[in-house]
Amino acid sequence: MAANFNLAARDIGAAFEKATGQKASFSFGSTGQLFAQITQAAPHEVFLAADRERPRKAVEEGYAVPGTRFTYAVGRLALYSREPGLQLGKATLRNRSFDRIAIANPTTAPYGAAAVQAMRALGVYEHLAPRLVQGINIGQAYQFIATGNAEFGFVALSQIGNGLVGSHWVVPTDLHAAIAQDAVLLNRGVGNAAARAFMAFLRGPEARAIKETYGYGAGE
């Protein structure tokens, strides 16, 4: 499961267990890492990505079940600092007074790719590039900020939208491609009724409400 969906997934998993009596177990990582694991026969049954591309490839390359792919969430990118009371925004990125800014690896993590797109759209990528510190996924990018190893960073709004102390700026969606996040049933989950039930629950009203509390668009 995509690392950005960690907090929402735990709440959805608890609601799923309460509603059905079945327990969902999660493994979190960057979308690129998870896809690589799937191609190497990792025992995953459902793939919740942070993009649409990898679930589509999973179907095309024979790792996932055709007709089961859907958009379960639409993510939002945010610039975050652990220091409260800051007025973050475009001007922050044009300021040269800070040393490090954290992002997720743009090659494997869609939120990292969106961060690079936003910086390029604002015309600041070239002067910020030497200051970028990359996490292997959005969770590690957040940890760089939380531990003070980076003054600011691009994270998922879902990581900071539930009362976390600090300052943030929600990046306008016209600065990067939409972060549509798709789910798909993997071949290993075909015979597992619980896997199919979780997929159905993920599309339902209770899960939708939880996703919205974490700042996600609900998807399909």
- Structural domains of the chain, count: 2
Q: What is the CATH number of the domain that holds 167?
A: 3.40.190.10
CA contacts within 13 A on the Cβ side of 127: 10
Do 23 and 47 belong together in one domain? yes
Is 220 inside any structural domain?
Answer: no
Edge-first strand listing for the sheet containing 101-104: 132-135, 101-104, 152-156, 77-81, 167-170
For 58, the token pair is 């999973």
Whole-model pTM?
Answer: 0.84
Beta strand spans in 10-166 (E) = 46-48, 70-75, 77-81, 101-104, 132-135, 152-156
Go through 91-121 and write b for each residue having 16 or more CB atoms within 10 A of its CB, e for each that does not.
ebbeeeeeebbbbbbbebbbbbbbbbbbbee
For 160, the token pair is 């900071």
For residues 16-24, give the mean pLDDT: 96
Is 218 inside any structural domain?
Answer: no
* Rounded Cα–Cα distance for residues 81 and 131 (Å): 15
Predicted local distance difference test score (pLDDT) of residue 164: 65
Do 89 and 143 belong together in one domain? yes
Q: Which domain holds residue 208?
A: 3-74+178-213
Is 19 inside any structural domain?
Answer: yes
Q: Distance of alpha carbon 53 from its chain centroid, rounded?
A: 14
For residues 38-56, give the mean pLDDT: 95
pLDDT digits (tens, 9 = 90+) for 132-185: 999 998 999 999 999 999 999 999 998 886 556 799 999 999 999 999 999 999
